[in-house]
Chain A
């Protein structure tokens, strides 16, 4: 129970124990825990960064979406005006075409009328000559004939 050489032995044992505990327990385990702590911290900061990037990407995507919408609206407006233009052109074309057709028809009609007039005129001359023959009951010479017809034609 008194102090003795045992103290020295226990002192050596104690120092040895501190060394062994450090070597086999503290050093590897604390290194591991430090590494894990660092890994967790890294993970957390990475997730923070990821969140930030996600936010940026969301902002960017809404921006792009708005731009796309604007562009689409522009395109629709352009298309509308273009279709109006095409419609207008078509309408104009149709109008001129119709006018052309009408004019052509009118000319045709005029021509037909003139031809009918010509025919009618010839027939009238024949009828008149026959009528005159019957009235005079004699053959009119060709000369008389012709002059009479010409006279008639001129009067019609």
Chain B
């Protein structure tokens, strides 16, 4: 796993791995690797979906269609659990997209940390960060879209007055309006931020652990005695992959369920 492309010290190695391939500076920094891999994985979903869509059979569904139907029913069940039957039309494809896309983007974490960057450096690309969900921009973008939808449905269901009233009277009733405004604002803002940071943090930490495991034999090109750690490295790597398969699935699932729950909460009428 260890390669020479990071050059010297462990710190440099890790920093190198955590740097995006990007153009532009400051706010105008565009992370090409993040966009490339997320769009690639999105294209994969669409490609597979089109393949399933071409051979749709109602009577005798084949393997791929069965899998898709299973996932679809799973998502549908989650939605029905929190919405009943009055779910808005966008929620189902939204939840399905999150589950599939986030899972695939998380899955990039399981590809050996140095494999794709090494290939890229062979092709003359200096930096490459392959997991789009370790980029806060990705997770926050999805979280903000969900947040926008919760506001939209809140206003749609409760009316603009009802939405403002929620800020004024929500946790403590009408005598503590200033505190209510602060509390509800924090409450509302915490939703997208926690949604984005949870996924980002988990994936980032997972990536970091893979990097640390890779560090065990990093200096092997310099001092062969480091190879003594190789068996330990293999064992640790396998253990962390096994655990991480659960983590990436769980994080994709949590993101989906919380999206459904947040939009579902926006749909419940205020009972104060």
Contact = CB atoms under 8 A, between A and B. Distances in A.
B30 interface: yes
17 contacts: A3-B136, A4-B24, A4-B31, A6-B22, A7-B137, A7-B140, A9-B30, A9-B35, A11-B142, A16-B42, A19-B93, A20-B46, A21-B96, A25-B49, A25-B68, A33-B72, A39-B58
A29 interface: yes
B26 to A, nearest CB: 7
B52 A10 contact: no
Given A3-B136, A5-B28, A18 B93 contact: yes
A29 B65 CA distance: 9
Interface residues of A, number: 33
B82 interface: no
B20 interface: yes
A1 to B, nearest CB: 7
Contact of A33 (B39, B42, B69, B96): B69
Contacts of A5: 24, 27-30
Interface of A is mostly: helix
A18 B100 CA distance: 11
Contacts of A33: 69, 72-73
Contacts of B118: none
Given A10-B138, A13-B42, A36-B58, A21 B100 contact: yes
A26 B98 CA distance: 13
A132 to B, nearest CB: 136
Interface in B95-148: 96-97, 100-101, 132, 135-138, 140-142, 144-145
Contacts of A13: 35, 38-39, 42, 141
Given A5-B29, A29-B68, A30-B92, A14 B49 contact: no
B154 interface: no
A12 to B, nearest CB: 8
B45 interface: yes
A17 B42 contact: yes
Contact of B90 (A2, A7, A18, A28): A18
B50 interface: yes
Contacts of B92: 26, 30
Contacts of A4: 24, 26-31, 137
A32 interface: yes
A22 interface: yes
B56 interface: yes
B63 to A, nearest CB: 14
B18 interface: yes
A24 B53 contact: yes
Given A13-B38, A17-B101, A29-B52, 11 more contacts: A1-B135, A10-B35, A10-B137, A11-B142, A11-B144, A13-B39, A14-B142, A24-B53, A25-B93, A29-B65, A36-B58
Nearest to A30: B72
A37 to B, nearest CB: 10
Give the residue among A6, A27, A30 with the most B Cβ atoms within 10 A. Answer: A6
B96 A6 contact: no
Contact of A32 (B18, B34, B58): B58
Contacts of A29: 52-53, 56, 65, 68-69, 72
Contact of B42 (A20, A30, A36, A39): A20
B235 interface: no
B242 interface: no
